[in-house]
Copies of this chain bind each other. A is one copy, B any other.
Amino acid sequence: MDHTKQQRGEGQGPAVPTPSDLLTTTEAAILGLVGGGELSGYDLSRSVETGIGMFWSPAQSGIYAVLPRLVEKGYATARTVVQERRPDKQVYRITDAGRDALRRWIEAGPPEPDPAYNPFLLRVYFGAETSPGVVAGHVEARRREAEERIALLRELKPALGDVGTPASEQYRGFVLDWGLEYYEAVVRWADATLAGLSELDG
């Protein structure tokens, strides 16, 4: 198959030869968010949590490392906002060159399939090394998690995708729909797998 690597919590990430002038995934994510309006590093770490966090969540320190790099490359500009009751902050705005770079990154497309980095599945794959109950525990946890996500996504959905909404909202709707499709698949699979595991157990 193919892949790529990455991970989280477990995973690690691959080192891929970024075509040099192409953005890093983190750079693209941040640039994309900054493209929606002036944001500070702090704002960004919060949007990540509540927005694209589902499929990309750079570390806070990573965000602060990337921002000056974007300025240096001419993809964003920084402006200091003086505050009285809060620490001063830098807010960033995307430039035309930045928008261009972002567009190029989007168009470059995923070279290959799916990263599919998935330590969880690896654990299931080698499940015979432990007891069915242990694997069932993991699967149940996954199922619970999926249900939570589904509930969350259903809450977010009405806010998006209505007719007449801006295109950017439509795209967010597509991603949200993917989340629903994905987590519903998780639930179905978990149920079937739990049934299979209980047979192994008895």
Contacts and interface: CB of A to CB of B under 8 A. Distances in A.
B125 A52 contact: yes
A8 B16 contact: yes
A154 interface: no
A120 B2 CA distance: 12
Contact of A116 (B55, B102, B137): B55
A83 interface: no
A5 B35 contact: no
Q: Is the interface of A mostly helix, strand, loop or mixed?
A: helix
A46 interface: no
The oligomer's copy count stands at 2
A118 B56 contact: yes
A6 B11 CA distance: 6
Contact of A99 (B3, B129, B184): B129
Interface in A42-72: 49, 52-57
Interface in A107-141: 107-130, 134-135, 137-138, 141
Q: Bin chain A's interface residue count.
A: 35 or more
Interface stretch (A74-82, A85-93, A171-179): A171-179
11 contacts: A1-B53, A2-B8, A3-B56, A5-B115, A7-B18, A9-B19, A13-B13, A56-B118, A106-B134, A128-B166, A167-B200
Given A28-B126, A55-B122, A127-B167, 5 more contacts: A6-B117, A8-B16, A9-B19, A124-B171, A182-B182
Interface of A: 1-19, 22, 24-25, 28-29, 32, 35, 49, 52-57, 99, 102-103, 105-130, 134-135, 137-138, 141-142, 145, 149, 166-168, 170-175, 177-179, 181-182, 184-185, 188-189, 192-193, 196-197, 200
